[in-house]
Amino acid sequence: MVNTLKTQCRASAWERVFGGDLWILRNIMRRFVSVFMALIPFKAWRHQARENLDRWIIACNAGKIAHFVEQYPPVKSELETVASLVKNGASIGRFGDGEFNMCIGRHKSFQTYDSTLVARLKEVLHSTDENFLVGINTIQAEHDLTEIWKKFVVRRGNRVLKLLDHNRLYDSSTITTVFPQQSTSFEDYITALKLIWHNRKVVFVVGRNSRFFFEKELFDNLRCHEFVYGPAKDAFSVYDELMKQVMVYDKDWLILIALGPTATVMAYDLYRTGYQAIDLGQTPSKYHKAKYGSLYPADHPLFELNPL
């Protein structure tokens, strides 16, 4: 604990020079690494070199990762969050690495940086409405962090911690992305998850030709369903039009949204107008991966020819 605090004090001093999480220094180092990697003649060797470098960077930042876990706010379990959605008819906006990246000035390939979107994401993150759940990753110990998240913590961790309220109990953002590996637990969890939309009229708000796939095994208990399509990239650019299309439906329709960071904001705005809205993400693809061992490809067209 003492060593972790000492490490963070030194890091804070350096951050005053090189920016949060030393991003200026990291960008310079990344350029040098890119030049070095380009000199490696074989793709397999480059891949191995990158893996070795990632492991070394993670090991060198063990103190920072430990500090992140220590300071990370408490988060409900996935089942507790699902129970709130089912029993209370709550809505949820989820914050993963993409949403946090956007909040600190970075962006994903499917959503360019937009200052208005950033402001709206922060508004949602800091909202305290009782029946609107703010979901973040469930992290209780270092073993909860995947290699991808460890690298994310190294690059962005300190800035993410500054966005969060450490005295708040958050809900889980991984309700639709992390599934139990034991077969019986997996089936029990899916049964609980499907109660959210059991016998409901559902509007799916998704990106056209995105990775979202209508998985009949997940959605075979809907009363009926319809789709509202947005662009697979930069959905926030047509946000107002998408909201108009969704609000044509009565308030008893459940709105399930898969539009990247835009979904987080849309779920909040729809909740405030009287809908139950859930930032669903790429749940069918994650479900397929958990059950069958493979994701749908990123460019897989939306499949809606499998009617209920």
pLDDT computed for residue 13 by the predictor = 59
Give residue limits of the domains in the chain.
2-60, 78-292
- Report the candidate in 185, 173, 142, 161 with the shortest Cα–Cα distance to residue 77: 173
Task: Say if residues 204 and 212 touch (Cβ distance below 8 Å).
Answer: yes
pLDDT computed for residue 20 by the predictor = 58
**Buried-exposed string 136-165: b where 16+ CB fall within 10 A, e elsewhere:** bbbbeeeeebeeebbbbbbbbbbbbeebbe
Task: Say if residues 29 and 53 touch (Cβ distance below 8 Å).
Answer: no
Contacts of 82 (CB under 8 A, 6+ apart): 175, 192, 193, 195, 196
pLDDT in tens, 17-51: 445 555 566 666 667 667 767 778 878 888 888 78
Q: Which two three-digit tokens encode residue 209?
A: 């030709």
pLDDT in tens, 153-166: 988 899 999 999 99
* DSSP assignment letter at 25: H
pLDDT computed for residue 306 by the predictor = 36
Task: Say if residues 134 and 124 touch (Cβ distance below 8 Å).
Answer: yes
pLDDT computed for residue 105 by the predictor = 81
pLDDT computed for residue 24 by the predictor = 65
Contacts of 25 (CB under 8 A, 6+ apart): 14, 18, 19
Contacts of 119 (CB under 8 A, 6+ apart): none
Alpha-carbon distance 212 to 299, whole Å? 10
Local structure of 73: helix, strand or coil = coil
In tens digits, what is the pLDDT along the chain, a chain of 308 residues?
Answer: 545 444 454 455 556 544 555 556 666 666 766 776 777 887 888 888 878 888 888 898 899 999 999 999 999 999 999 999 999 999 999 998 889 989 988 766 567 788 999 999 999 999 999 999 999 998 988 888 888 889 989 888 999 999 999 999 999 999 987 777 666 788 899 999 999 999 999 999 998 877 777 888 899 999 999 999 999 888 999 999 999 999 999 999 999 999 989 999 999 999 999 999 999 987 877 887 778 776 544 544 444 433 33
Calculate what percentage of the chain has a pLDDT beyond 90. Answer: 50
Alpha-carbon distance 182 to 290, whole Å? 10
Alpha-carbon distance 135 to 277, whole Å? 13
pLDDT computed for residue 119 by the predictor = 96
pLDDT computed for residue 308 by the predictor = 32
